[in-house]
């Protein structure tokens, strides 16, 4: 499994890959560039940090910008605030995605990556519910194929936590550690899952995506990526066996950029596995 560069985007911090199966389009964002992209096309230039996005049932987008969730009409480019969180001004929304029933789950973090001032929330379209607190860098989240287990990464912990997930209420319970990521592999960042129930994790600073069995904590596969700061991944393609991978250039030295000149690009690798679908909001 060898990733190929599909967009030489040279993004500061590409993230939030989201697959639209109806149009076979990859959406992604540049957190620091404050941009939303569809493939190589620029969909929106924003005025603050964007952390995550998801498709709505009608094909438009919901996204998390600084402390708010907004709606973006792709036809008119009109944006409107759906809901906001009340947090310190030095926080911003980071990674997020929809659960199998269409709730939007998202986390927040200290922009300076120092204080454990972040939270994890669930938005059902009417109200925001707090699920977790004391988070440092809220990152990858995904579900088991049956939707009954929620997996979550607070990056500095180097752990993937598992929770029982109530699809009816959206509540989490019974926190346990599913995976401990050893030193030297990079930091666990964005995450998705496959239909066998295994987890795919982008390794920030590790130039790779890894596949793990969350029931045993065992590392199953390592896929080298020619970008040091591998940030997130999602399955797409007609058979949902193509893994799309985002990366960053942020804060890389000249020496690192010479070694990883494709940093900030979007990559694709065809796998032997069928990934979980990207769920829609609402
Ligand atoms: Ca991230």
Question: What pLDDT, in 10s, does the model give residues 77-122?
Answer: 999 999 999 999 999 999 999 999 999 999 999 999 999 999 999 9
pLDDT tens string 56-76? 999 999 999 999 999 999 999
The C-alpha atoms of residue 222 and residue 17 are separated, in whole angstroms, by 20
Starting at the edge strand found earlier in the chain, the sheet holding 149-154 runs 138-143, 149-154, 159-165, 172-180
Output the CA 86–ligand 1 centroid distance in Å. 21
Catalytic residue numbers?
189
Please, where are the H alpha helices in the chain? 254-259
User: What does the mean pLDDT of the chain come to?
Assistant: 97
User: Where does the pLDDT of residue 124 fall: very low under 50, low under 70, confident under 90, or very high at 90 and above?
Assistant: very high
Output the CA 125–ligand 1 centroid distance in Å. 24
Output the CA 196–ligand 1 centroid distance in Å. 24
pLDDT tens string 2-34? 999 999 999 999 999 999 999 999 999 999 999
Output the CA 9–ligand 1 centroid distance in Å. 17
- Going by the DSSP 8-state scheme, the letter that residue 136 receives in this structure is S
The C-alpha atoms of residue 158 and residue 186 are separated, in whole angstroms, by 9
155 SS3 class: helix
Output the CA 97–ligand 1 centroid distance in Å. 12
Percentage of residues of the chain with pLDDT beyond 90 = 99
The C-alpha atoms of residue 218 and residue 179 are separated, in whole angstroms, by 8
Nearest by Cα to 214 from 242, 180, 173, 248: 180
The C-alpha atoms of residue 118 and residue 278 are separated, in whole angstroms, by 25
pLDDT tens string 156-182? 999 999 999 999 999 999 999 999 999
Output the CA 94–ligand 1 centroid distance in Å. 7
Percentage of residues of the chain with pLDDT beyond 70 = 100
Nearest by Cα to 151 from 166, 164, 162: 162
154 SS3 class: strand
Nearest by Cα to 91 from 37, 134, 131, 123: 134
User: Where does the pLDDT of residue 237 fall: very low under 50, low under 70, confident under 90, or very high at 90 and above?
Assistant: very high
Question: Is the confidence at residue 214, as pLDDT, over 90?
Answer: yes
The C-alpha atoms of residue 268 and residue 26 are separated, in whole angstroms, by 11
C-alpha dihedral sign at 188, 71, 55, 248: negative
Question: Which structural domains are found in the chain, ordered by start?
Answer: 4-270 (2.120.10.30)
User: Where does the pLDDT of residue 133 fall: very low under 50, low under 70, confident under 90, or very high at 90 and above?
Assistant: very high
Identify the pLDDT of residue 149: 98
User: Where does the pLDDT of residue 1 fall: very low under 50, low under 70, confident under 90, or very high at 90 and above?
Assistant: confident
Average of per-residue pLDDT across 209-235: 98
Output the CA 16–ligand 1 centroid distance in Å. 8
Nearest by Cα to 204 from 140, 108, 116: 140
């Amino acid at each position: 499994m060898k990733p190929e560069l599909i967009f030489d985007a040279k993004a500061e911090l590409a993230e939030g890959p989201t697959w639209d199966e109806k149009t076979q389009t990859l959406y992604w964002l540049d957190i620091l560039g404050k941009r939303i992209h569809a493939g190589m096309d620029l969909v929106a230039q924003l005025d603050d940090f964007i952390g995550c996005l998801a498709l709505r049932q009608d094909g438009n987008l919901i996204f998390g910008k600084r402390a708010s969730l907004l709606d973006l009409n792709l036809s008119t480019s009109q944006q409107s605030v759906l809901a906001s969180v009340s947090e310190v001004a030095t926080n911003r929304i980071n990674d997020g995605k929809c659960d199998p029933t269409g709730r939007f789950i998202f986390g927040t973090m200290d922009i300076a990556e120092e204080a454990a001032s972040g939270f994890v929330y669930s938005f059902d379209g009417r109200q925001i519910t707090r699920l977790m607190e004391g988070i440092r860098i809220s990152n990858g989240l995904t579900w088991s194929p049956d939707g009954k287990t929620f997996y979550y990464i607070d990056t500095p912990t180097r752990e993937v936590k598992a929770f029982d997930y109530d699809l009816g209420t959206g509540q989490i319970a019974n926190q346990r550690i599913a995976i401990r990521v050893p030193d030297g592999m990079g930091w666990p960042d964005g995450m998705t899952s496959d239909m066998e129930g295994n987890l795919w994790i982008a390794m920030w600073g590790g130039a790779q995506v890894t596949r793990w069995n969350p029931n045993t904590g065992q590392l199953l596969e390592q896929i080298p990526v020619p970008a040091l700061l591998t940030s997130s991944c999602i399955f797409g393609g007609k058979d949902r066996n193509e893994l799309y991978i985002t990366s960053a250039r942020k804060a890389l030295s000249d020496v690192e950029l010479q070694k990883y000149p494709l940093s900030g690009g979007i990559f694709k690798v065809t796998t032997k596995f069928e990934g979980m679908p990207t769920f829609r909001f609402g």
